[in-house]
Structure 1
């Protein structure tokens, strides 16, 4: 099979845009472009004339102002969507420049072996057709250090020369290309220096793949190019954008396949303890990490899968998320592994998560992905084969062992099982033979020097044998003579490999795909070809259900996630028309505020405060008498309340109408599947024992006593986490119920002096009733409370203070720090009675209700209840009020307490 040369308008426009850059220059001839033994590219135009031409081309092509990136370098970008013939475009551009101006020296720089091979295959495939079109036969070759004669011809000949080379072929001093030969060649110049004197025009294919590093730029500059043209769909660096064929335009014009995104994702996974690494802030002193976890939304009263703030070593996730399920997740280490070069976060409970890891039930997700890929494959086959079009499906995996392992090639096993299940439905009830199932599978993985298959991307790129097999067999794969229909490949092989007849792509990942979504889609975007190598286009009137050129992407994530990732990439490339705000200024280097807190000098106030402190400074100890049988009984009662939704997998089909805005996709249908849970009763006992601290015997009694074991079978991870949460709640309630306090005879001392604090902004002036002239606060509720308490009209307030951090009340569920101490003064109504002082300790929260679980976590409620017992053990001299939201509520409760204690 030989692909047929076409002349679509978008390729003609891209070619002509480059030709026009040199408009007005004198044609190169042997007389004006041959210097001694070297034939060179010569441009008679000045830089000013070249850049005037560039600006005219940009204007003629109506490039948006925000996209043309004018600069004064001899460098320009041609931006063409993947699958629209970029390689053939720049190859024909070389022919046109030679035909029009006699420019004869062209170097195509590629970032990798597969892209290099694709270029050569394109040149070979269209060689005869290009000869017929241009009547030119170029010397086109891959640079090979063992075949220097081709390089000699490139330097000396006045005929069209096209050399293809990778960056790795010349980007260091030890490369043969950079060595001075002993023989007297080119006036004793090294090949590189002689090459530089040819002033080649350089075509940079996918320059974002390593050509913009400082090292690469230096070595490319040593080629002394006449001009550099950058070709890509996703430029990272843009300079003088001459031509732009966006994804949206190519999609609208039907230059690429239409797109269906058929997603497979889990649902009902709220209690799976899912954690993801979102961002890392490296530092020599303290590394910080942002995680995504199930976080309590106090306003809505539910858990949401949200990003955390910056976390560091020793942070506990339960404290940071408000989700008690994470109680034993305390960060023990944040590090970047030298082996996989990914960030890891380790926890004190032995759990460790890796950058990019997902918690999906991967094997069931893979099974559904493969089932629907196979279904779409057979649907395509039945409608495409009569038209002479062979369809292929591509399956990317990220661990070769999942397909090639002798012990357990799980992906291969799942594929063959699903193929057997789906096959009869599309083949008149027939069953496939084992030979047929094996023959439809093709796989391409890199090998080590020992002959073992490997996951490593570098090995994939170096392994010429594998890539030759992939790329040289492209035409054979398109033929009905080849039995291969499903191609398994490593995700690292994605760059540079595509085939016009790929109609389905599934990405089976153990982690979230690190490939770019546009790159992922790009592997199958090309318009399909028939057995004669002719591209077959759909008419504008073709109904959606009858389209030949439709690519189905089957990712293991929700459509919303897929669309968001794609949209972000698209907007990074082309913008979204929305003004981007300037980044906020940081405060690095800013001088820290130093605030001084002055102690009251009023002896009356200080006398009141001393009396108050003598009461509240007394320390207590506690002991807990827990009844194990009561704990077991209450745990059984609580676990019996668990009701689990079925673990389900959702499949959804969306048809993309505008590839620049995937949110406008049309819903095409969906299916839900009840997952089959794998479970082991020993897992349940061990998990609960480990996370609650109960012995196996107690846990077994609880499990034996529950009446809803069927709920566990539905979704074991969810049940286990809910069971742990409920047992911990019972333990917490029992600890609080059974705790007893008594004074120890010890007291907290107090340093009655002024103090200063650096970097302090969270304070409010309290000159009237504060023990200090300023009071710290930890929340806006605390700030408001302090302001109200300090009002000069509050004559009942003798003094108040924010308790220092070191003032702690011991509880079995962690130390507790109350917020405010306040002394009220009440005049006696009876003239013969004395005025009294009343001492209060106040806990400020966003609620006045101790049972408000939306505003308070179980641990907060438990600590408050323990504090109640602590202060009761001190006698009735100090009254504890918690939780309190605002001063008026405190005032009302304080008046009631005072009245109840006989001040009437």
Structure 2
């Protein structure tokens, strides 16, 4: 198979942007650019002329001077999203630079073997077609310190030369290129100096990967480049940015695959004994570790958060006030001499490495692999009709889980593949030889030259290396059996394949691979068996889309997409970045701000239905009669429904994504129930301590309640039960309060409006807001609005107007947000809408008297009765500190309504 060269406008624009930098210079010839037997790149333009060219190019491409960071440095930047062909762009740029200006000396500098091999693949794959197009073929070679004759050739030859090398080739004095005492020097000078006399144009592929250290700058400087041209999707250093193809532009224009994020995560996992090793402190005293674990707060709530700095001898159960961890006493905090990794060892034998998480991840991995294989089979069937081979990529946590004596992931894959295969193949069973043949793998090369561990022998490893890193076209051939590629981190940057349609990340580390790198391995538009790119029309329905990448991470969709957007923001910046800060400055200018109605018919219709449901006014009457604390508590406790500890698979199709936000479509979710693991707990002690009631009263309550839900998730049950009992105690104050509907309604003006307001307290909400922005009074409100704006299950939301007030005996009460949510079943596709009113506070616990005043607690209690009087259509959630808390409660409510 030979991949076909395409004439793509955006690639031509990027190439032309570089060519124009040298506009006006004299063309290099043998006579004007050959000195002392060395053929050099000569540019007669002065700094002012080049700078003017750069300014004009940036302006033509719509890049503001501040963003372009224009300077007299001999650095140029071209920014192209992963998967849009930047390697081919800079290779074609080399051809054009020789064609226009006669430049002959080029170096392609890469940070890794994988990227170097990718460059060689691209050059070799397109060299015939490029030669036909341009009429010549440059001499391109991989630098090898044992083949210095090629370097001599590079220095002297009149024909275009491309030397492809890693930074490691010359990044220390002992490297051969830097050595001054050798018998084979070039004209008695180190090769690095001789190369410098050629004034090469250096193309830096992924320069953010180690090319901007002080040592790297010094070493690259010795090459005396005419210009350095940086190509990346994620520049950390931006200088003279000529051309930019952002993720948003490439996604919108259909230049890369559309993305489905199918997340697999734990839900309601307070009883999972999960622990993360966050940080280590190593100074003059003994090392200390900071862990993240489930803490039981004074109010009884369970929170997953950081501990203080812990030392050997500390008991995690005591530190977290969570008796489930009492068997986790720290025995050792150590840094491995061999791996240089920190670990914490507990008294029960559990060992935890820095930046990793404990817990049984096999069920999560199993479900990730299950969905990967299902998606793989489904896509394979559709793509085969168009002559397109489907590939899937799996990132694993450590090599030993695939190559070791107990290859957990390898065995899990074989087990799930064997189980799922008959469903798509008429009930037939796959042979063990077949399951082995469809798997390929590439792990980092050892210093000894072997490619990871010795399974299958070195020759087998080399064969797989040749296939995955060198034989891209062979891997694309439908006759090659390999369909699933396993890697650790070696394929994280620089390797991709146009026919990767599914990516799963099976890891215990919480920052193993950056999101844009992770996604980037499969963004490229796919090719058929003739090597031709197969594009979708911009108007294609998702169900008919060919170029769709499914990413299967083991984290929530919100976490995944937020991190992805933050990476984009770190590169492109954003008007909304930092808008979540709380401003308390007084006396600042008030601006006239216009609030525009969202033009979406879906939002308009949903909000009007919502407002009709919640616009009814109420009044109240009060009566006083004693109620029994025990009977009320028993009644409420028997209504507890602790959600199952589950692993949840959830699908989201991203329609658009940029530095300013995303648009997506929720594809549904499914759950798999898990078993909780916990140590013995004293229910009586825990409930008595968390509610203040006596042991005798606690025993009487417990004797009358159903403990089935306690067994499901003891920490969660204790928190829920204690909260209910405390609420009963508080409700003695409001027990006699009764709300009834008056028949009057709040009238909502649906027009646009203007307000005098401090614009620093405004958050933009163009996607899900009823209006295009809302005013926030606190950082908590700001964050809630941001999450609602980016939640695929939210139809619309509104910061409720100040005139929407509920009567209470202690004054009028104005809730914060109205939210309309949707729920679509993954299998049936049916969708329903649900209405919520939310009160945000600095706590999720109504009994938290440190965060809430008695008046606030009383008003919230009254509001509960107010919305109860309205009926079940509008659900009230208060108080809410974190959006995830609201989401959990809303999901539980929706589940209950659906079951009802």
Q: Same fold (TM over 0.5)?
A: yes
CA distance in 1, matches of 2:391, 2:553: 17
Alignment of 1:163-562 (within 5 A): 163-180=163-180, 186-279=186-279, 283-284=283-284, 291-296=291-296, 302-307=301-306, 323=322, 325=324, 336-345=335-344, 353-406=352-405, 408-446=406-444, 448=446, 454=452, 467-562=465-560
CA distance in 2, matches of 1:147, 1:583: 58
CA distance in 2, matches of 1:424, 1:346: 43
User: In structure 2, the residue corresponding to 1:368 is in which secondary structure?
Assistant: helix
Shift of 1:69: 1.9
CA distance in 2, matches of 1:572, 1:343: 29
Q: Which residue of 1 aligns with 2:51?
A: 51
Shift of 1:167: 1.0
| TM-score (normalizing by structure 1) | 0.66
Q: Which residue of 2 aligns with 1:118?
A: 118
CA distance in 2, matches of 1:119, 1:136: 19
Residue by residue over 1:711-753, the C-alpha shift from the partner in whole angstroms, topping out at 9 and shown as x without a partner, is 69976xx559989999xxxxxxxxxxxxxxxxxxxxxxxxxxx
CA distance in 2, matches of 1:305, 1:283: 27
Residue by residue over 1:344-396, the C-alpha shift from the partner in whole angstroms, topping out at 9 and shown as x without a partner, is 45667876543222244311111111111111111111110010101111111
Q: Which residue of 2 aligns with 1:36?
A: 36
CA distance in 1, matches of 2:706, 2:393: 42
CA distance in 2, matches of 1:706, 1:485: 58
Residue by residue over 1:310-357, the C-alpha shift from the partner in whole angstroms, topping out at 9 and shown as x without a partner, is 677887767765656556767777665544444445667876543222
Q: Which residue of 2 aligns with 1:565?
A: 563
Shift of 1:47: 1.5
Shift of 1:160: 0.9
Shift of 1:142: 0.8
Shift of 1:645: 4.4
Relative to 1, partners in 2 of residues 1:487 and 1:66: Cα closer, same or farther, differing over 3 Å?
same
| TM-score (normalizing by structure 2) | 0.66
User: In structure 1, the residue corresponding to 2:270 is in which secondary structure?
Assistant: coil
User: In structure 1, the residue corresponding to 2:657 is in which secondary structure?
Assistant: coil
User: In structure 2, the residue corresponding to 1:672 is in which secondary structure?
Assistant: strand
Task: Report the more deviating stretch, 31-40 or 394-403.
Answer: 394-403
CA distance in 2, matches of 1:39, 1:665: 54
Q: Which residue of 2 aligns with 1:16?
A: 16
User: In structure 1, the residue corresponding to 2:68 is in which secondary structure?
Assistant: coil
User: In structure 1, the residue corresponding to 2:193 is in which secondary structure?
Assistant: helix
Task: Say whether the 8 Å CA contact 1:334–1:344 is kept in structure 2.
Answer: yes
Task: Say whether the 8 Å CA contact 2:58–2:241 is kept in structure 1.
Answer: yes
Residue by residue over 1:264-288, the C-alpha shift from the partner in whole angstroms, topping out at 9 and shown as x without a partner, is 1111211333332445565445867
User: In structure 2, the residue corresponding to 1:165 is in which secondary structure?
Assistant: strand
Alignment of 1:796-835 (within 5 A): none
Shift of 1:303: 2.4
Task: Say whether the 8 Å CA contact 2:170–2:219 is kept in structure 1.
Answer: yes
Task: Say whether the 8 Å CA contact 2:58–2:65 is kept in structure 1.
Answer: no
User: In structure 1, the residue corresponding to 2:503 is in which secondary structure?
Assistant: strand
User: In structure 2, the residue corresponding to 1:93 is in which secondary structure?
Assistant: helix
Q: Is 1:152 aligned to residue 152 of structure 2?
A: yes
User: In structure 2, the residue corresponding to 1:293 is in which secondary structure?
Assistant: strand
Relative to 1, partners in 2 of residues 1:323 and 1:576: Cα closer, same or farther, differing over 3 Å?
farther
Q: CA RMSD in A?
A: 4.1
Shift of 1:309: 6.4
Q: Which residue of 2 aligns with 1:622?
A: none
Shift of 1:192: 1.4
Residue by residue over 1:406-445, the C-alpha shift from the partner in whole angstroms, topping out at 9 and shown as x without a partner, is 4x32222221221122222222333323332222222223
Task: Say whether the 8 Å CA contact 2:642–2:716 is kept in structure 1.
Answer: no
Residue by residue over 1:32-53, the C-alpha shift from the partner in whole angstroms, topping out at 9 and shown as x without a partner, is 1000210111110111211121
CA distance in 1, matches of 2:495, 2:259: 19
User: In structure 1, the residue corresponding to 2:395 is in which secondary structure?
Assistant: strand
User: In structure 2, the residue corresponding to 1:506 is in which secondary structure?
Assistant: strand
CA distance in 2, matches of 1:256, 1:381: 19
User: In structure 2, the residue corresponding to 1:492 is in which secondary structure?
Assistant: coil
Relative to 1, partners in 2 of residues 1:21 and 1:449: Cα closer, same or farther, differing over 3 Å?
closer
CA distance in 2, matches of 1:268, 1:72: 57
List alignment gaps of at least 5 residues for structure 1. Answer: 585-638, 693-704, 727-851, 857-904
Task: Say whether the 8 Å CA contact 1:402–1:412 is kept in structure 2.
Answer: yes
Task: Say whether the 8 Å CA contact 1:445–1:454 is kept in structure 2.
Answer: yes
Residue by residue over 1:549-587, the C-alpha shift from the partner in whole angstroms, topping out at 9 and shown as x without a partner, is 000001111112211221221111112214659999xxx
Relative to 1, partners in 2 of residues 1:326 and 1:422: Cα closer, same or farther, differing over 3 Å?
closer
CA distance in 1, matches of 2:482, 2:348: 47
Question: Which has the greater radius of gyration?
Answer: 1
User: In structure 2, the residue corresponding to 1:90 is in which secondary structure?
Assistant: helix
Shift of 1:237: 1.4
Q: Which residue of 2 aligns with 1:162?
A: 162
CA distance in 1, matches of 2:217, 2:158: 28
Q: Is 1:105 aligned to residue 92 of structure 2?
A: no
Alignment of 1:585-596 (within 5 A): none
Relative to 1, partners in 2 of residues 1:450 and 1:92: Cα closer, same or farther, differing over 3 Å?
closer
Residue by residue over 1:50-69, the C-alpha shift from the partner in whole angstroms, topping out at 9 and shown as x without a partner, is 11211111111111455212
Alignment of 1:495-894 (within 5 A): 495-578=493-576, 580=578, 645-660=643-658, 664-675=663-674, 718=713
User: In structure 1, the residue corresponding to 2:209 is in which secondary structure?
Assistant: coil
Q: Which residue of 2 aligns with 1:737?
A: none
List alignment gaps of at least 5 residues for structure 2. Answer: 583-636, 687-701, 722-845, 851-900
User: In structure 2, the residue corresponding to 1:106 is in which secondary structure?
Assistant: strand
Shift of 1:189: 1.7
CA distance in 1, matches of 2:321, 2:94: 63
Task: Say whether the 8 Å CA contact 1:640–1:706 is kept in structure 2.
Answer: no
User: In structure 1, the residue corresponding to 2:107 is in which secondary structure?
Assistant: strand
Task: Say whether the 8 Å CA contact 2:444–2:490 is kept in structure 1.
Answer: no
User: In structure 2, the residue corresponding to 1:373 is in which secondary structure?
Assistant: helix
CA distance in 2, matches of 1:377, 1:310: 45
Relative to 1, partners in 2 of residues 1:464 and 1:210: Cα closer, same or farther, differing over 3 Å?
farther
User: In structure 1, the residue corresponding to 2:67 is in which secondary structure?
Assistant: coil
Shift of 1:487: 1.5
User: In structure 2, the residue corresponding to 1:144 is in which secondary structure?
Assistant: coil
Shift of 1:517: 0.7
Shift of 1:240: 1.3
